[in-house]
Amino acid sequence: MKRLYFYKCLLLILFSLFSSITVSAHQTNHFKTNVYFAEGCAENLTGSNKDNSSTVEKEKEKEKEIVRPKNSPLQDTQSAVSSETILHYLGNEAVLVEDKEVKFLFDPFFHNHYGQYILVPDAIRSKIFSGQAPFDNITAIFVSHVHGDHFDAKDTLRYLKANKDTLLFIPEQGRLQLQQLSSYNEIEAQVRSVELKLGDPAISFNLNNMDIDAVYIPHAGWPQRQDIQNTVFRISTPSNFTVAHFGDADANPTFYRQHHQHWKKKLTDVALVPYWLALTPDGREVINSIINSKKNIGVHVPVKGHPALPGSWTDYFSRPGEQRAIKNHRELPNEK
């Protein structure tokens, strides 16, 4: 048996020596482990008084000393973080964005469908107000403008009173409507109002490691609705996912070109844009060439749809409860 053990060890030593010639740089640690084991065999055959258990312990200690190169495959898998952001469609332009660390709502409370737009179903509204998943722990609410198919002051007040950790970002016109309600003072500290007009530069906020940008883009039908403060909110989450909500933005490219640096500054993963932007050459220029978005999803789709939708959009929301799962990828700085 001892002779057989000798030949096995001899073969292992010869294999290790051969490997030292052909092994590549990233396999060095594997080669060292084989040599350590072969050395243990040699000690056993030369009459060492150490038993097998001590030899194994020696091998383990030597393996602990092996330092993995910084460019090893193991570290490569840890150099980036992938995550998934889920967009939940609620109705008209109402959307819940569910990210790994934050959740926020766009235009969630309204009651006027103007005879054609999609209301938020009662079952979804009930979940929002009761805080049932996925509507628990909402970080913020963003309101694009104060039309009745996007905003209701009483519902907003009710929700904020029950959820003191949630902040509201809203055009000044919306804050003034809230201020008319008797218990506005109870939620005043939660309100962040935005008052922008045509030509004003974008403004920025930071909340719970979310970067929030707001810019004024006139409401569709300009100049007839120039009295409405339509605000485009662009939010970047801690997981590096960026979403922009355009409210009822007009399709005129001129309104967007004057904010060229704003769009260029950051790539938007998903732009939630009113469906009519894809129905005209001007609108298509906006969504395809100006706003710097990877994916566009149409919203504000009428209950009956639109005859041009199938040919103009690759993706749009039209059924409350439907979702889009968006993969996003964040590179982490390499250790030096």
Helix (H) / strand (E) element for 206: namely strand 203-207
**CATH number for the segment(s) 80-331:** 3.60.15.10
Distance in angstroms (rounded) separating the CA atoms of residues 192 and 215: 14
Q: What is the pLDDT of residue 34?
A: 40
Q: What is the pLDDT of residue 3?
A: 53
For the chain (336 residues), the mean pLDDT of every run of 10, in chain order, is 52 48 39 38 40 46 37 35 88 98 98 98 99 98 99 99 98 98 98 97 95 98 94 97 99 98 98 97 97 98 91 90 85 42
Distance in angstroms (rounded) separating the CA atoms of residues 276 and 329: 30
Distance in angstroms (rounded) separating the CA atoms of residues 115 and 138: 30
Q: What is the pLDDT of residue 309?
A: 86
Q: Where in the chain is the domain with CATH 3.60.15.10?
A: 80-331
Q: What is the pLDDT of residue 43?
A: 40
Q: What is the pLDDT of residue 208?
A: 87
Q: What is the pLDDT of residue 330?
A: 53
| Inter-helix orientation angle 153-162/172-179, to 10° | 80
Q: What is the pLDDT of residue 81?
A: 53
